[in-house]
Amino acid sequence: MTRFPRPGCWFRFTPTDWNFICDTLALNERGKAGFKAMIDDPDAVPIILDNDKLFEAAIISRKAALLSPELFFFIVVRHSLKEFGITEVAVADYMAVVCADFGCTPTKGPDEINHSVDSLYSVDYLEAIESASRHQKFFLHVQCANQFLVLTCLYPDFLHRRAERRGAPDVDYYEQVVVSHLDAARQHVLADEFALEETFEKVAGCFPPARRAMNHTVREYLNLGQ
């Protein structure tokens, strides 16, 4: 992972992101002025981002190229999870950060991602964890969970093809890899230090339906070069 996932992906939004949100949701200049006042309130930001007009503007109207990976994936993940009844903002926030850091971006296309993970298996992490220090084990558990979270959510067809071609495990297996490594990370002392214990628990608890929600959105609306 390029960065350790931390809650609050909106703290990484760009000025262009905020202009997009404002232009999409504010109907007039008075509305824009009120909107700019609201975004200074951290408690109001998740409420603002819940508006379905953002998904319609970014995905249906094809304006996603304007957005940072953080805003793009938060809009996609939040919409997808709500459609499947998963309403916890912390889950969407964490998954969006992970997808933004490791998923498909304008500078990292699907071909590059497929090439970099084509020989990646969970057993590689198990072997590394076995010989790692107690401190290192935590980060390996998190990295393993996050990499397979991205693969199972955004590139399920890649995993299907690899399973058919090589006899490798399929999506359902790696779904459980995500859950088990998040659980292991949650139980580590560093999870409390990074204030991620509760987040790991929430993501692991709802990941199977969350993964299916993301697969549905990817196939219906996104073209990630699978």
Give residue-wise pLDDT tens across range 83-133.
Answer: 999 999 999 999 999 999 876 544 444 455 444 454 456 677 878 888 888
DSSP state of 59: I
Q: What is the pLDDT of residues 41-96, one digit of tens each?
A: 878 888 899 999 999 999 888 788 889 999 999 999 999 999 999 999 999 999 99
Report whether 8 contacts 49 (CB < 8 A). Answer: no
pTM (two decimals): 0.87
Q: How many H-runs (helices) and E-runs (strands) does the chain carry?
A: 13, 0
21 contact partners, CB below 8 Å, separation of at least 6: 35, 39, 48, 49, 54, 71
Q: Cα–Cα distance between 30 and 9 in angstroms, integer? A: 27
Q: Where are the domains of the chain?
A: 9-221
Q: Residues 67-84, buried b or exposed e (16+ Cβ, 10 A)?
A: bbbbbbbbbbbbbbbbeb
Q: What is the pLDDT of residues 166-194, one digit of tens each?
A: 777 889 999 999 999 999 999 999 999 99
The closest of 120, 88, 113, 110 to 210, measured between CA atoms, is: 88
